[in-house]
Amino acid sequence: MTIGSPHKVLHVAVELAPLVKLGGLGDVLGSLPKSLVRSGKVDARILLPAYPGVLENAEKYGYKFKRTGVSVSAAVNWRAWSASVLEGKVEGVTVYLLEQPELFSDPHVYPNDLNAETMLPFVFLCYAALELPKAVGWTPEIYHVHDWSTAILPLALRWHRYYRSMAEQFDVVLMLHNLAHQGLVDPAIVDGWGFVPEAFSIDGMEFYGRANLLKGAALASDSIIAVSPHYSWDIQTFDGGFGLHGVFSMLRAKLSGILNGIDYDIWSPATDKMLPAHFSSEDQAGKAVCRAKLIERCGWQDDGKPILLFIGRLVMQKGVDIMLRVLETKLGDSCRAVVIGSGAQEYEAWTEHLQRVFPQTFSCLNGFDEEFAHLAYAGSDILIMPSLFEPCGLSQIIAMSYGTVPVVRNTGGLADTVIDFDGSPDGTGFIFSDYSTFELEHAINRAIGAYWDKDRWKVVMTNAMRANFSWDQSTKAYISVYDRLKAGD
């Protein structure tokens, strides 16, 4: 490596907004590499499977991909697999797409059950990433992998019979977006991956008799980055470590927490093409037009009551149970609410029930709808994010940009990004601590109380809109991590 030349970094990932997005991981891949490239200090590229819909989305958003004519091959489960490589640019970032319709056939990306068959695409993606340099004539210095879905790459460099011979050539950064999913599989499945037997040991993947991909990857990577400073501490605790607190505490010398940002080219109400009107912290008038459009889409009559919004996966992590219980008691008189998200069947059924009971004050969309999400962020007043745990969270950051004031629980990245308005004139939202309906309701009441005091509301809304979570600062922190790896620290 030459000191001073841009770092060559290949991000290997299964999501990349706007080509394939299931949550915040897609947003991060759509914005962090872009910011790294813009810094001029990193030649960041991305390797992504061409899931169904990816090429259609590329065309829809005007990104051109061409067939390179080269392919990559790797052996998994005693069979040779091959994929064609397409190359294009997304927001100035070179993206390699792996086309292998047999393996990359699920547009929902993540299987419900991890077994020999459903793990195949993830293993192949990681081996293909190691084969890619030979095929495309560009060799990264650093592989940057994301969560369990690409954790097999550092594992391969440590334990694969063939790929471990390449370990000296590369550094690996493992980014932790959500420790709730670790890639826990039956050790018998790993047999077909080409690892030496020691891979299944205490120094490798072994975890209470099962194979834990994230644990093995954490041990095998050169640097580990959690998506917020708070989260890097949380995962070293019994409550936040999901069984890996001891591992992360042992590895803390190579663990850091760097806050995610958002891309204000996309998430800015002053320029957002998906909105019926634009607004900014200086001129907030357009927000009323967005509100009117949202009210119309929900089929409501506007009586000025605050609109509460939840947007995200309907899973326990997000605090959906306490939120719906509190909403049930408030929809009759003090507010309206919009819920956008899909997930656990019981929560979807509960939201549908609320919509039947409160058609004039509650609306739900149990699906993924990017355009409606933009309108809802812009047209609502208060975002509710009562997460049980939250590695970083992007919804609260996006909501702030749109002047939708967040009510959040004091955990992970929520604690790093929101300042309580009752505790500080610079406050950007409302925070509560205990995971309980009582505390959540109290925080929502504080927000609704502030909403009716127009002067106070303007202050908190403006503070939220002015809070800046662009990638600029965090990009510098990532570059320092790459610098340290290059210097051999």
Q: Which residues bind ligand ADP (CB under 6 A)?
A: 23-25, 27, 311-313, 340-341, 368-370, 373, 392-395, 398
- What letter would DSSP give residue 112? S
End-to-end CA distance of the chain: 14
CB of 407 to ligand ADP, least distance (A): 14
**Smallest Cα–Cα separation from 452: which of 316, 324, 335?**
335
Cβ contact 344:312 at 8 Å: no
CB of 333 to ligand ADP, least distance (A): 27
CB of 474 to ligand ADP, least distance (A): 14
Toward ligand ADP, which CB reaches closer, 194 or 393? 393
Toward ligand ADP, which CB reaches closer, 361 or 387? 387
Cβ contact 225:256 at 8 Å: yes
Tokens standing for 487? Answer: 């210097």
Question: Would strands 93-99 and 79-90 be described as parallel, antiparallel, or unpaired?
Answer: antiparallel
Toward ligand ADP, which CB reaches closer, 22 or 70? 22
CB of 262 to ligand ADP, least distance (A): 8
CB of 279 to ligand ADP, least distance (A): 19
Toward ligand ADP, which CB reaches closer, 408 or 447? 408
Instruction: Count Cβ atoms below 10 Å from residue 178 Cβ, excluding itself.
Output: 22
Question: Would strands 184-185 and 142-146 be described as parallel, antiparallel, or unpaired?
Answer: unpaired
- Cα diameter, the chain: 68
337: enclosing H helix or E strand: strand 336-340
CB of 372 to ligand ADP, least distance (A): 7
CB of 331 to ligand ADP, least distance (A): 20
Toward ligand ADP, which CB reaches closer, 94 or 380? 380
Q: What residues have CB less than 8 Å from 149, skipping those under 6 apart? A: 13, 14, 109, 110, 122, 125, 183
Tokens standing for 310? Answer: 């939840």
Toward ligand ADP, which CB reaches closer, 68 or 342? 342
CA–CA distance, 37 with 41 (Å, rounded to integer): 7
Toward ligand ADP, which CB reaches closer, 346 or 370? 370
Q: What residues have CB less than 8 Å from 400, skipping those under 6 apart? A: 406, 417, 418, 428, 429, 464, 465, 467, 469
Strand order across the 206-207 sheet: 184-185, 210-212, 206-207
CB of 316 to ligand ADP, least distance (A): 12
Instruction: Count Cβ atoms below 10 Å from residue 313 Cβ, excluding itself.
Output: 17
Toward ligand ADP, which CB reaches closer, 140 or 312? 312
Toward ligand ADP, which CB reaches closer, 177 or 291? 177
CA–CA distance, 308 with 328 (Å, rounded to integer): 13
CB of 393 to ligand ADP, least distance (A): 4
CA–CA distance, 368 with 380 (Å, rounded to integer): 18
CA–CA distance, 440 with 319 (Å, rounded to integer): 10
CB of 387 to ligand ADP, least distance (A): 8
CB of 202 to ligand ADP, least distance (A): 30
Toward ligand ADP, which CB reaches closer, 58 or 376? 376
Opening angle at CA 33, ends 29 and 38, nearest 5 = 145
Residue with tokens 């489960």: 77
Cβ contact 347:316 at 8 Å: no
Opening angle at CA 478, ends 28 and 483, nearest 5 = 150
Q: How many CA atoms lie within 13 A of 84 on its CB side?
A: 11
CB of 392 to ligand ADP, least distance (A): 6
- What letter would DSSP give residue 195? B
Toward ligand ADP, which CB reaches closer, 130 or 298? 298
Residue showing the smallest CB distance to ligand ADP in the complex: 24
Toward ligand ADP, which CB reaches closer, 100 or 380? 380
